[in-house]
Amino acid sequence: MQILSESSLVVFKSCKEIEGPYLDYFQNQIDKPVLVSGVLVPEPSSDILDEKWTKWLDNFPTKSVILCSFGSETFLSDDQINELASGLELTNLPFILVLNFPSNLNAEVELERALPKGFLERVKNRGIVHSGWLQQLLILEHSSFFNSKLIADDLKAGIEVKNRKDEDGFFEKEELLEDVKTVMVEVDKEPGKQIRENHKKWREFLLNKEIQNKFITDLVAQFKSLA
């Protein structure tokens, strides 16, 4: 807070189109200029997706695969892993589930212990459980994915899992199943239809280089005007 109080302005890696109300609220609270740089979408990777992933993903239709990942610093409890894996199994859709563990634990041993009994055998033709680093951006570029990472409530480009537990924010397998069906299966019904349309709209916006370059040009101009 001291840094904020001593600053002349604040710059966010965001844009008014996505987080306008929050940016306006924050500016009113601090009574200082709040500028935006745009979302700074990374340039497409020049790397090539490993052949093992390409071959596996090519087995499935367009926009049919689920990628479930919590990053490298989030470690789920046994109960959470059980519910998540069971929910993915119930969807009958192809999936990649990424589960990581603290560095002092053996991931292979932990997976064997934490996953539902017989899970890997039952889903072997349509599911992969992976631990460790993953070529996530390259995998998400594959046509078999429908990627709904944007804010569910504001952009209407995804859906939030409902009825999560108060104590840890997690959910049960039945809730996961219903929400996956909404986005991945019931694509001709609402809200699934609208979610896909919004996803397409925001994807085009975020990948439009002319728009993103203008954010930087405008930011530089604002810096000059405040100098």
| Share above pLDDT 70 across residues of the chain, in percent, rounded to a whole number | 82
The values of phi and psi at residue 52, to 5°, are -60, -35
Are residues 92 and 156 both part of a single domain?
Answer: no
141 within domain boundaries:
no
Q: How many CB atoms lie within 10 A of CB 31?
A: 6
Q: What is the pLDDT of residue 149?
A: 41
Q: What is the pLDDT of residue 161?
A: 66
Q: Measured between alpha carbons, how far is 180 from 86 in angstroms, rounded to an integer?
A: 13
Of 104, 133, 162, the position where a domain reaches its end is 133
Query: What are the residues facing 98 on neighbouring strands?
Result: 69, 130
Number of domains in the chain: 3
DSSP, residue by residue, 88-144: HHHHTS-EEEE----TTS-HHHHHHHHSPTTHHHHTTTTEEEE-S---HHHHHHSTT
Are residues 50 and 122 both part of a single domain?
Answer: yes
71 within domain boundaries:
yes
Q: Is the pLDDT of residue 148 over 50?
A: no
Q: Please, what is the angle between helix 173-180 and helix 78-91, to 10°? A: 40
**Contact status, residue 117 vs residue 126, Cβ threshold 8 Å:** no
Of 103, 133, 163, the position where a domain reaches its end is 133
Query: Which amino acid, 199?
Result: H
Q: How many CB atoms lie within 10 A of CB 147?
A: 15
Per-residue model confidence as pLDDT tens digits over 90-125: 999 999 999 999 989 999 999 999 999 999 999 999
Q: Measured between alpha carbons, how far is 155 from 158 in angstroms, rounded to an integer?
A: 8
51 within domain boundaries:
yes
Are residues 186 and 161 both part of a single domain?
Answer: yes
Task: Give the count of alpha carbons within 13 A of 227, CB side only.
Answer: 7
Give the position of tokens 């596996």: 56
217 within domain boundaries:
yes
What CATH number does the domain containing 69 carry? Answer: 3.40.50.2000
Q: What is the pLDDT of residue 164?
A: 64
Are residues 193 and 171 both part of a single domain?
Answer: yes
Are residues 27 and 98 both part of a single domain?
Answer: no
Q: Which residue has the higher pLDDT, 219 or 171?
A: 219
Strand (E) or helix (H) holding 11: strand 10-12
Are residues 114 and 60 both part of a single domain?
Answer: yes
Its pTM stands at 0.61
Per-residue model confidence as pLDDT tens digits over 175-212: 888 877 877 777 677 777 877 788 788 878 887 889 98
Q: Is the pLDDT of residue 3 over 90?
A: no
Q: What is the pLDDT of residue 6?
A: 85
pLDDT band with cut points at 50, 70 and 90 for residue 147: very low
Q: Which domain holds residue 20?
A: 2-41+210-226
Are residues 69 and 122 both part of a single domain?
Answer: yes
**Contact status, residue 174 vs residue 87, Cβ threshold 8 Å:** yes
Q: How many CB atoms lie within 10 A of CB 35?
A: 16
179 within domain boundaries:
yes
Sort residue 145 into left (φ over 0), alpha (ψ -120 to 50) or beta.
beta
Are residues 101 and 155 both part of a single domain?
Answer: no
Are residues 35 and 51 both part of a single domain?
Answer: no
Q: What is the pLDDT of residue 200?
A: 80
Are residues 20 and 70 both part of a single domain?
Answer: no
Q: Which residue has the higher pLDDT, 46 or 57?
A: 57
Are residues 124 and 51 both part of a single domain?
Answer: yes
119 within domain boundaries:
yes
Q: What is the pLDDT of residue 183?
A: 73
139 within domain boundaries:
no
138 within domain boundaries:
no
Nearest to 193 by CA among 162, 156, 160, 224: 156
Burial of 100 (0-12, 13-18, 19+ CB in 10 A): buried
Are residues 169 and 191 both part of a single domain?
Answer: yes
